[in-house]
Protein backbone atom coordinates (compact mmCIF):
# COMPACT_ATOMS: atom_id res chain seq x y z
CA UNK A 1 0.00 0.00 0.00
CA UNK A 2 2.97 2.33 0.59
CA UNK A 3 4.50 2.15 -2.86
CA UNK A 4 3.64 5.75 -3.79
CA UNK A 5 6.05 8.59 -4.22
CA UNK A 6 5.65 10.30 -0.87
CA UNK A 7 9.09 10.76 0.60
CA UNK A 8 8.97 9.22 4.07
CA UNK A 9 12.02 11.15 5.30
CA UNK A 10 10.38 14.44 4.25
CA UNK A 11 7.22 13.37 6.00
CA UNK A 12 9.12 12.52 9.17
CA UNK A 13 11.13 15.78 9.04
CA UNK A 14 7.95 17.79 8.47
CA UNK A 15 6.08 16.21 11.36
CA UNK A 16 9.08 16.67 13.65
CA UNK A 17 9.39 20.33 12.59
CA UNK A 18 5.79 20.72 13.73
CA UNK A 19 6.83 19.46 17.16
CA UNK A 20 5.26 16.03 16.78
CA UNK A 21 7.01 12.91 17.96
CA UNK A 22 6.77 10.22 15.32
CA UNK A 23 7.49 6.52 15.33
CA UNK A 24 7.52 4.01 12.48
CA UNK A 25 3.85 3.15 13.01
CA UNK A 26 2.88 6.81 12.58
CA UNK A 27 4.87 7.12 9.35
CA UNK A 28 3.36 3.88 8.07
CA UNK A 29 -0.16 5.15 8.83
CA UNK A 30 0.42 8.49 7.09
CA UNK A 31 1.87 6.80 4.00
CA UNK A 32 -1.01 4.33 3.98
CA UNK A 33 -3.52 7.15 4.18
CA UNK A 34 -1.83 9.10 1.37
CA UNK A 35 -1.86 5.98 -0.78
CA UNK A 36 -5.60 5.50 -0.19
CA UNK A 37 -6.30 9.18 -0.89
CA UNK A 38 -4.39 9.09 -4.18
CA UNK A 39 -5.81 5.71 -5.18
CA UNK A 40 -9.47 6.52 -4.55
CA UNK A 41 -9.45 10.20 -5.46
CA UNK A 42 -10.81 9.69 -8.96
CA UNK A 43 -13.69 7.54 -7.76
CA UNK A 44 -14.64 9.57 -4.71
CA UNK A 45 -13.59 13.04 -5.90
CA UNK A 46 -11.82 13.72 -2.60
CA UNK A 47 -9.33 16.44 -3.51
CA UNK A 48 -8.13 18.58 -6.39
CA UNK A 49 -4.54 17.88 -5.35
CA UNK A 50 -3.10 14.93 -7.24
CA UNK A 51 0.70 15.24 -6.98
CA UNK A 52 2.12 13.18 -4.10
CA UNK A 53 4.54 15.94 -3.02
CA UNK A 54 1.60 18.34 -2.74
CA UNK A 55 -0.45 15.79 -0.83
CA UNK A 56 2.45 15.75 1.64
CA UNK A 57 2.62 19.51 2.17
CA UNK A 58 -0.90 20.77 1.39
CA UNK A 59 -2.80 17.95 3.07
CA UNK A 60 -0.77 15.79 5.47
CA UNK A 61 1.52 18.39 7.03
CA UNK A 62 -1.09 21.14 6.79
CA UNK A 63 -3.60 19.03 8.73
CA UNK A 64 -1.02 17.69 11.20
CA UNK A 65 -0.10 21.30 12.11
CA UNK A 66 -3.36 21.41 14.07
CA UNK A 67 -2.39 18.56 16.36
CA UNK A 68 0.11 20.22 18.74
CA UNK A 69 -2.55 22.84 19.49
CA UNK A 70 -5.19 20.37 20.59
CA UNK A 71 -3.53 19.60 23.93
CA UNK A 72 -2.63 23.27 24.51
CA UNK A 73 -6.14 24.50 23.82
CA UNK A 74 -8.12 21.72 25.43
CA UNK A 75 -5.93 19.41 27.55
CA UNK A 76 -8.85 17.41 28.98
CA UNK A 77 -10.81 16.97 25.75
CA UNK A 78 -11.94 13.44 25.02
CA UNK A 79 -13.33 13.92 21.54
CA UNK A 80 -13.27 16.08 18.44
CA UNK A 81 -15.65 16.64 15.52
CA UNK A 82 -14.27 17.47 12.06
CA UNK A 83 -17.00 19.29 10.11
CA UNK A 84 -17.01 18.86 6.34
CA UNK A 85 -14.23 16.30 6.68
CA UNK A 86 -14.18 15.43 2.97
CA UNK A 87 -11.52 12.77 2.47
CA UNK A 88 -10.51 12.96 6.14
CA UNK A 89 -8.65 16.24 6.53
CA UNK A 90 -7.82 16.88 9.28
CA UNK A 91 -9.67 13.97 10.92
CA UNK A 92 -7.40 11.17 9.68
CA UNK A 93 -4.08 12.88 10.66
CA UNK A 94 -5.63 13.80 14.04
CA UNK A 95 -6.78 10.20 14.60
CA UNK A 96 -3.31 8.87 13.70
CA UNK A 97 -1.46 11.30 15.98
CA UNK A 98 -3.93 11.30 18.90
CA UNK A 99 -5.10 7.72 19.45
CA UNK A 100 -6.47 8.79 22.86
CA UNK A 101 -9.08 11.08 21.22
CA UNK A 102 -12.38 9.89 19.77
CA UNK A 103 -12.45 11.51 16.32
CA UNK A 104 -15.69 11.95 14.36
CA UNK A 105 -15.77 13.27 10.82
CA UNK A 106 -19.01 14.46 9.28
CA UNK A 107 -19.69 15.12 5.63
CA UNK A 108 -22.84 15.76 3.63
CA UNK A 109 -21.52 13.57 0.80
CA UNK A 110 -22.01 9.88 1.51
CA UNK A 111 -19.09 8.59 -0.54
CA UNK A 112 -16.65 10.86 1.32
CA UNK A 113 -17.85 9.61 4.72
CA UNK A 114 -17.66 6.04 3.34
CA UNK A 115 -14.07 6.64 2.22
CA UNK A 116 -13.06 7.88 5.68
CA UNK A 117 -14.69 4.87 7.35
CA UNK A 118 -12.90 2.54 4.94
CA UNK A 119 -9.58 4.31 5.61
CA UNK A 120 -10.18 3.93 9.36
CA UNK A 121 -10.63 0.18 8.90
CA UNK A 122 -7.63 -0.26 6.58
CA UNK A 123 -5.34 1.83 8.79
CA UNK A 124 -6.59 0.26 12.03
CA UNK A 125 -7.77 3.60 13.44
CA UNK A 126 -10.30 2.43 16.00
CA UNK A 127 -10.72 6.00 17.32
CA UNK A 128 -12.07 7.34 14.01
CA UNK A 129 -15.51 7.17 12.46
CA UNK A 130 -17.26 9.29 9.86
CA UNK A 131 -20.93 10.16 9.71
CA UNK A 132 -22.85 10.85 6.52
CA UNK A 133 -24.98 13.85 7.44
CA UNK A 134 -25.35 17.54 7.02
CA UNK A 135 -23.81 18.94 10.18
CA UNK A 136 -26.97 20.89 11.00
CA UNK A 137 -28.83 17.55 11.31
CA UNK A 138 -26.17 15.95 13.49
CA UNK A 139 -26.81 15.20 17.15
CA UNK A 140 -24.25 14.81 19.90
CA UNK A 141 -21.76 16.80 21.90
CA UNK A 142 -18.05 17.34 21.32
CA UNK A 143 -15.29 18.94 23.42
CA UNK A 144 -13.57 20.29 20.31
CA UNK A 145 -15.01 21.07 16.88
CA UNK A 146 -12.68 21.74 13.97
CA UNK A 147 -12.97 22.42 10.27
CA UNK A 148 -10.70 23.02 7.31
CA UNK A 149 -11.95 24.59 4.07
CA UNK A 150 -15.56 24.15 5.20
CA UNK A 151 -17.38 27.49 5.49
CA UNK A 152 -17.06 31.04 6.77
CA UNK A 153 -16.16 31.28 10.45
CA UNK A 154 -19.62 32.64 11.21
CA UNK A 155 -21.44 29.76 9.41
CA UNK A 156 -19.12 27.20 11.01
CA UNK A 157 -19.94 28.47 14.50
CA UNK A 158 -23.66 29.01 13.89
CA UNK A 159 -24.17 25.53 12.39
CA UNK A 160 -22.26 23.72 15.13
CA UNK A 161 -23.19 25.74 18.22
CA UNK A 162 -25.65 23.10 19.53
CA UNK A 163 -22.91 20.45 19.21
CA UNK A 164 -20.22 22.08 21.41
CA UNK A 165 -19.99 20.79 24.96
CA UNK A 166 -20.05 23.36 27.80
CA UNK A 167 -16.54 24.84 28.01
CA UNK A 168 -15.67 23.36 24.61
CA UNK A 169 -13.58 24.98 21.90
CA UNK A 170 -13.84 25.51 18.16
CA UNK A 171 -10.56 25.28 16.21
CA UNK A 172 -10.90 26.73 12.71
CA UNK A 173 -8.10 26.15 10.21
CA UNK A 174 -7.96 29.22 8.00
CA UNK A 175 -5.80 30.86 5.35
CA UNK A 176 -4.39 34.38 5.22
CA UNK A 177 -7.36 36.70 5.68
CA UNK A 178 -9.08 36.34 9.02
CA UNK A 179 -10.09 39.86 10.19
CA UNK A 180 -13.31 40.13 8.18
CA UNK A 181 -14.49 36.68 9.20
CA UNK A 182 -13.75 37.40 12.85
CA UNK A 183 -15.68 40.69 12.63
CA UNK A 184 -18.76 38.79 11.40
CA UNK A 185 -18.90 36.32 14.28
CA UNK A 186 -22.22 36.18 16.14
CA UNK A 187 -22.66 37.61 19.65
CA UNK A 188 -21.41 35.57 22.57
CA UNK A 189 -18.46 34.08 20.71
CA UNK A 190 -14.98 34.79 22.09
CA UNK A 191 -11.74 34.67 20.13
CA UNK A 192 -9.37 32.79 22.43
CA UNK A 193 -6.45 32.57 20.01
CA UNK A 194 -5.46 33.76 16.55
CA UNK A 195 -2.19 32.11 15.67
CA UNK A 196 -0.19 32.10 12.43
CA UNK A 197 0.77 28.53 11.61
CA UNK A 198 3.94 27.48 9.79
CA UNK A 199 3.53 24.40 7.65
CA UNK A 200 6.86 22.91 6.53
CA UNK A 201 7.26 23.13 2.75
CA UNK A 202 4.22 25.36 2.33
CA UNK A 203 4.72 28.97 1.30
CA UNK A 204 1.13 29.95 2.04
CA UNK A 205 -0.07 31.71 5.17
CA UNK A 206 -2.20 29.67 7.57
CA UNK A 207 -3.98 30.62 10.76
CA UNK A 208 -5.55 28.74 13.59
CA UNK A 209 -8.51 30.48 15.21
CA UNK A 210 -9.70 29.16 18.55
CA UNK A 211 -13.16 30.21 19.72
CA UNK A 212 -15.32 29.64 22.76
CA UNK A 213 -18.83 30.65 23.68
CA UNK A 214 -20.01 32.57 26.71
CA UNK A 215 -21.77 30.06 28.95
CA UNK A 216 -24.72 32.27 29.97
CA UNK A 217 -26.92 32.21 26.86
C1 LIG B 1 -13.78 22.01 0.43
S2 LIG B 1 -14.25 20.51 1.16
C3 LIG B 1 -13.05 20.35 2.45
C4 LIG B 1 -12.81 18.92 2.82
C5 LIG B 1 -11.71 18.70 3.88
N6 LIG B 1 -12.03 19.32 5.13
C7 LIG B 1 -10.37 19.20 3.37
O8 LIG B 1 -9.80 20.12 3.98
O9 LIG B 1 -9.88 18.67 2.35
C10 LIG B 1 -15.74 20.93 2.07
C11 LIG B 1 -16.54 19.72 2.51
O12 LIG B 1 -17.64 20.15 3.31
C13 LIG B 1 -18.74 19.30 3.03
N14 LIG B 1 -19.96 20.03 3.44
C15 LIG B 1 -20.48 21.17 2.90
N16 LIG B 1 -21.58 21.55 3.58
C17 LIG B 1 -21.76 20.64 4.58
C18 LIG B 1 -22.72 20.51 5.64
N19 LIG B 1 -23.71 21.38 5.80
N20 LIG B 1 -22.59 19.47 6.50
C21 LIG B 1 -21.58 18.57 6.33
N22 LIG B 1 -20.65 18.65 5.37
C23 LIG B 1 -20.73 19.67 4.49
C24 LIG B 1 -18.62 19.04 1.54
O25 LIG B 1 -19.31 17.87 1.15
C26 LIG B 1 -17.12 18.92 1.37
O27 LIG B 1 -16.68 17.58 1.46
- Domain 62-213 sits in CATH at 3.40.50.150
Residues 73-87, mean pLDDT to the nearest whole number: 97
| Summary mean pLDDT of the chain | 94
Q: How many angstroms separate the alpha carbon of residue 62 from the centre of ligand 1?
A: 17
Q: What is the mean pLDDT of residues 68-75?
A: 97
**Average of per-residue pLDDT across 33-59:** 89
**Tens digits of per-residue pLDDT, 111-151?**
999 999 999 999 999 999 999 999 999 999 999 999 999 99
> Is 217 a residue whose pLDDT tops 80?
no
- Ligand 1 mutation pick, 60, 86, 94, max ligand atoms within 8 A of CB: 86
- The pLDDT tens digits of the residues spanning 150-199 come to 999 999 999 999 999 999 999 999 998 889 999 999 999 999 999 999 99
What percent of the chain stands above pLDDT 90?
A: 86
- β-sheet bridge partners, residue 175: none
Contact 150 CB / ligand 1 (< 6 Å): yes
Q: Which of 215, 205, 208 is nearest to 69 (CA)?
A: 208
Mean pLDDT, rounded, for 74-103: 98
Atom 14 of ligand 1, nearest CA residue? 84
Is ligand 1 within 6 A of the CB of residue 49?
A: no
- Whether the CB of 116 sits within 6 Å of ligand 1: no
Residue 194 annotated as part of some ligand binding site:
no
Cα–Cα distance, 109 to 94 (Å, whole number): 21
pLDDT of 3 strictly over 70: no
CB contact burial 17-28 (16+ within 10 A = b; e otherwise): ebebebeeebbe
Higher pLDDT, 35 or 4: 35
The CA-atom distances, in angstroms, between 17 and each of 64, 91, 201 are 11, 20, 10
Contact 52, 6 (CB under 8 A): yes
pLDDT at site 4: 56
pLDDT of residue 216: 63
Atom of ligand 1 nearest to the CA of 150: 10
Q: Domain extents for the chain?
A: 62-213
Amino acid sequence: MNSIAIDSSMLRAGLEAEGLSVDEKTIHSFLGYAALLLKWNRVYNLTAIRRPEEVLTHHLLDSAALVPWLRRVSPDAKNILDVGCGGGLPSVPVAILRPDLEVTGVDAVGKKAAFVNQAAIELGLRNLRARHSRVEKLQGEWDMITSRAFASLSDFVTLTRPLLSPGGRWLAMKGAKTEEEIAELPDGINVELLEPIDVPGLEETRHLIVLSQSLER
